[in-house]
């Protein structure tokens, strides 16, 4: 079975990282796919480093491969983002929200703190970056949190940040930020319904663990 037949028989969602990478290599015009796959893995160590697009792939692949990989990442990210926008009840879709943020910031080398705003029907209103870098209690400014919420007339909020270390366990600082934001939102009659921590391949939900 060749690469295209494998794709046709399994469908994209059933392909593993190796299959997807081989398909990208093949479509990019490389004749010896297995040789190129071995070369990339030897140079970049693992599939993750190749798919992240955070490294200089120009050294080992052609522009067609880079464009295809970027297109794949952008399409999957935009699909999830659009799905979040039309969901009738995001409260029931913690995994979907986590996947959106995992693709957005899960592979970042530094921390990034994001906020998702919902209306009184738990539908998407807006999302924005609140802070970049190490998140601590000095980075959460009341003005930066309150203004966009009032501007959108949001009633519910989901906050999310990434752990570049790959450790999903919330720190004491994470617990503090959750309590502080929750208290702050209650003062303006808005509810914090989740705090999600993401890594490159997983997530931690305060709501799922009943910590909110």
212 lies in some domain: no
Q: Give the count of beta carbons closer than 10 Å to the beta carbon of residue 191.
A: 13
Statement to judge: residues 185 and 131 lie in one domain: yes
* pLDDT at residue 55 in the model: 53
50 lies in some domain: yes
Statement to judge: residues 71 and 96 lie in one domain: no
* pLDDT at residue 205 in the model: 95
* pLDDT at residue 195 in the model: 96
* pLDDT at residue 84 in the model: 75
* pLDDT at residue 197 in the model: 96
Statement to judge: residues 96 and 190 lie in one domain: yes
211 lies in some domain: no
Q: Which domain holds residue 98?
A: 89-205
* pLDDT at residue 137 in the model: 47
* pLDDT at residue 12 in the model: 62
95 lies in some domain: yes
Task: Give per-residue pLDDT as tens, 151-182.
Answer: 999 999 999 999 998 899 999 989 998 998 99
| 164 bridge partner residues | none
Burial of 126 (0-12, 13-18, 19+ CB in 10 A): middle
61 lies in some domain: yes
Statement to judge: residues 49 and 97 lie in one domain: no
* pLDDT at residue 95 in the model: 83
Statement to judge: residues 103 and 186 lie in one domain: yes
Q: Which residues of the chain have pLDDT under 50?
A: 137-138
Separation between Cα atoms, residue 158 and residue 99, nearest integer Å:
13
Residue pair 138/180 in contact by the 8 Å Cβ criterion: no
Separation between Cα atoms, residue 6 and residue 26, nearest integer Å:
12
Total domains, the chain: 2
Statement to judge: residues 126 and 201 lie in one domain: yes
Half-sphere exposure (Cβ direction) of 160: Cα atoms closer than 13 Å = 28
């Amino acid at each position: 079975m060749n690469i295209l037949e494998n794709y046709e028989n399994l469908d994209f969602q059933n392909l593993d990282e190796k299959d997807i990478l081989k398909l990208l290599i093949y479509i990019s015009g490389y004749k010896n796919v297995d040789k190129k796959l071995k070369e990339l893995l030897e140079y970049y160590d693992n599939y993750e480093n190749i798919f992240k697009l955070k490294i200089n792939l120009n050294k080992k692949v052609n522009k067609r491969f880079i464009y295809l990989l970027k297109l794949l990442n952008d399409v999957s990210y935009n699909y999830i983002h659009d799905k979040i926008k039309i969901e009738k009840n995001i409260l029931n879709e913690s995994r979907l929200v986590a996947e959106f943020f995992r693709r957005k910031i899960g592979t970042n080398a530094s921390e990034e703190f994001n906020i998702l705003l919902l209306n009184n029907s738990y539908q998407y209103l807006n999302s924005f970056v609140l802070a970049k870098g190490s998140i601590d209690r000095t980075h959460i400014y009341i003005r930066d949190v309150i203004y966009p919420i009032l501007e959108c007339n949001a009633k519910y909020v989901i906050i999310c940040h990434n752990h570049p270390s790959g450790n999903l366990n919330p720190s004491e600082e994470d617990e503090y930020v959750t309590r502080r934001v929750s208290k702050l939102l209650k003062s303006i009659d808005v509810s914090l319904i989740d705090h999600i921590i993401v890594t490159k391949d997983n997530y931690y939900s305060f709501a799922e663990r009943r910590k909110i």
